[in-house]
Amino acid sequence: MNNNFNPQVLNIKTTEQAAVEMKKIECTSAGIAIMKDKAVFKVIKLTDINTKAANILKQTFLSKGGEVAISRHCADLSRDTSDVIIMATLHQYRQAIPVLKMQPWKLKNVAAVLEEILTEKG
């Protein structure tokens, strides 16, 4: 029995690339529309985020299946700001952004920045 399965690592950077790869394996158009944002993973670093906002950012992305790396100083609020690294699929960003727009500590601005980045590079 052959269990090689011809594994390939796909480096998908855009939704267009995702759609092409899914079309190659004969996914339906409806399936591609649903899944293409889930195939693109973006890592975005932001600097000087209020530590309270960084904690909310982390909680928001965790609830959507993403992740946010924050400074250890966010736990005890021993510093005013933290740099953050957001790691999520386009789908997770699109789920998190509306939630961030309702939050304090300039998270509306963070949401706008994320929307702009995703529009430019998504």
Mean pLDDT of 45-59: 96
What's the per-residue H, E or C state across the chain? CCCCCCCCCCCCCCHHHHHHHHHHCCCCHHHHHHHHHHCCEEEEEEEEEEHHHHHHHHHHHHHHCCEEECCCHHHHCCCCEEEEEEEEEHHHHHHHHHHHCCCCCCHHHHHHHHHHHHHHHC
Q: pTM score, two decimals?
A: 0.86
Mean pLDDT of 114-121: 84
Mean pLDDT of 19-40: 93
